[in-house]
Structure 1
Amino acid sequence: MHRTAAKSGLSMKQVLIFGGLMVTLSMGIRHGFGLFNLPITSANGWGRETFALTIALQNLFWGAVQPITGALADRYGAFKIMLAGGVLYALGLAGMAISTDVLDFTLAGGLLIGLALTATTYSVIYGILGRNVAPDKRVWAMGIAAAAGSFGQFLMIPVEQGLLSAFGQQDALLLLAILASLMIPTAFMLREKDFVHHHNLGDQTIKQALKEAMNNPSFQLLTLGYFVCGFQVVFIAVHLAPYLKDLSSSYPAVGAPVVATTALALIGLFNIFGTYSSGILGQRFPKRYLLSAIYLGRSIAITAFLLIPPSPMSTYIFAAIMGFLWLSTIPLTNGIVAQIFGVKYLTMLSGLVFFSHQLGSFCGAFFGGYLFDRTGSYLIVWEIAIVLGVFAFLVNLPVKERAITRTVNA
């Protein structure tokens, strides 16, 4: 029933290597945007809310357009989608570099990069994986791809901090634009040469697939939980560096930039192990229980971080724990979607549940800046993140992972 592609010409090794490289570049560059928060806002005389709104809109555009991009990739193949994404990513970074007006900066960093991310990150890569990797290795392969994105964060955080220190924010963004253009040749290496979208009489249509997913209770619960994931990780990614800057008196000998850069790099490093582990464990244990444990673990880690007196060591331990739990939700969530609905419309359905993730990302990024500018503190946002983690722990427990039963004409 789920015949989407004939011989694609891609081996599992090729998909993992170049799919991993695509995600490494797209997610790695994006994860370093928090380092640009204070340099850009200070240089332009903006409040933190302005930068936060741009990143929030980036996540919102990413999430809102992802199902459409996914549907196009499922219908016409992922190659052209990724190609356009690489171009948009480079243009967006260049636009951020030369913008001195808030609207221009928001269009470049919010709209262009948001659209680029729909075409170069997990949903599209997972669609290729679904078509080219056997079901018994699918969640493991998704874990590998997620680990590649984690490696990108670990790699790019010190690179971007080095570029900022050596060249300033404008030239650093232009150099990142050149780096992002490497996604274009990478897309050619993931071209499914014999891709054919089969739609025979009686096959499920896009409209039917959407209706089926939206009415499925497990899909609804996954969607609610994924909102929390987005809120937590993007709030931390965007606001951890300025939060540590505000606490710099607690570690004067080291300095806030060093602590922030090290912490974000540790998140990326331990995220590699976390996402890979979740891919392995997801093949052996119920994925819903693993998801619940991840969300509860995040709430416990944040609570401890706030209660323990701040120091470089406590920050690094927090970063390592959060890193292990950071993107480990991705292979598990997408694995459940593939397990329930199959792979024919996996890119689109992954994009649909991801939209909820990005709504959470918007809230985490924007309200982090908004509430800080209003209260002078991030405390209330940390507390919201804790409560949401407990909520996600509860809503993932009743998820049913078994494949859906369809009639012949479904």
Structure 2
Amino acid sequence: MKSKYVILASALLISVATFAQKDQIKSAEKALKGGDAQGAIAILKDAENLVVNAKDVEQAQYYFVKGNAYLELANKKVEESKNLSLAAESYKKLIEVEKASGKVKYSTQAATSITDIKGKLINSAIADSQVSKHAEGAKKLYDAYLLDKNDTINLYYAASTAVNAQDFDLALPMYEELKKLNYSGKGTSYTAVNKISGNEDGFNSAKDRDLAVKLGTHEKPKTEAIPSKRGEIYKNLALILVQKGRSEDAKKAIADARKANPDDTSLILTEANLYLESKDFETYKKLVGEALQKEPNNADLVFNLGVISANSKNNADAEKYYLKAIEINPNYANAYLNLAALKLEAEKPIIDEMNKLGTSAKDMKRYDVLKAQRENVFKGVIPYLKKANELDPKNEDVSKTLLGVYKALEMTAEAKALKATM
């Protein structure tokens, strides 16, 4: 008789706990409707330990109200990033509970809220980046990726943004995950200009874009190939590993990438750059030759070889590659710009020597010689800067450099004409 009494008492205790929990969820809902999201969360926190033993329908309701409360706080800009993530976490638990039980009541609304949260995280990350809060932006983009792991581009942008923040500890695991996923980002971009806003809108497919053009909401359709980002991903991964003193790991990462993507020439360039930094010039030259054999008429590849050569202070090779890139593609604006920058480097030692000269007759004579040499440097870069300015008129660096050259050479008419277009 005594044992039966104990069992009955236990059953009564469970029932009382269940009723208490239901009341707490209702109280939290009431608080949320009254605009007290923080109060709703506090009420739900008291019921947290009891949720595990609750019925599926009550668990789902608990996580739904909890998710709504956190989302409400985020919408009010209260610890926005943190509360968006907590809201998404609650909604995901809700969906898991209803999926396991087979009873769907809140999942559709929760899924819609998760999509909304993902958009808010991305927009907030963009806003952070615009005010140079790159680390905060990177974390939000990573949270957006965790909400939808099929949308791997958010992981790529999270890693890139972490690099912009110089937070390599944050970036490293993201790049390692991109490597594990063998992410390339290669694809096709479908865009058209919105007639109302004037902005270029992106579409998921050519069919969607063409329909918008046909309906008259958009114009000027454009299709562009999106190049592989693997080279950049493995380059950044390798550079981070090198910075952490893990050079062998960096070489292995590139070697693994090349095995998985044997036809990706950008990875050959990344590996070449890695050996260049470790001053293994023989391996560097071998890899450069391999890259050129694969794609001798790839202007981007040849241009990148020019950049690598310039970074290693091998100006003769850099000039050769830039000229080759222009030969392949006469409208390669960056090749003209980099060629001009390369040639302008000759000005520095001239200026340094001029500044050291005195006022003696010998020094004045030397000054005139150096002045003529400097003018020849400027005259030599004008054709490249003019072409770069013609191809990319909105590039302020090009126009300002060209204007400076005109002024140094006292080419008043040319300077006046250029300034009128700036």
Larger fraction in helix? 1
In the superposition, the TM-score normalised over structure 1's length comes to: 0.21
Which fold has the larger relative contact order, with Cα–Cα distance below 8 Å and residues 6 or more apart in sequence?
1
Larger fraction in strand? 2
Larger C-alpha radius of gyration, 1 or 2? 2
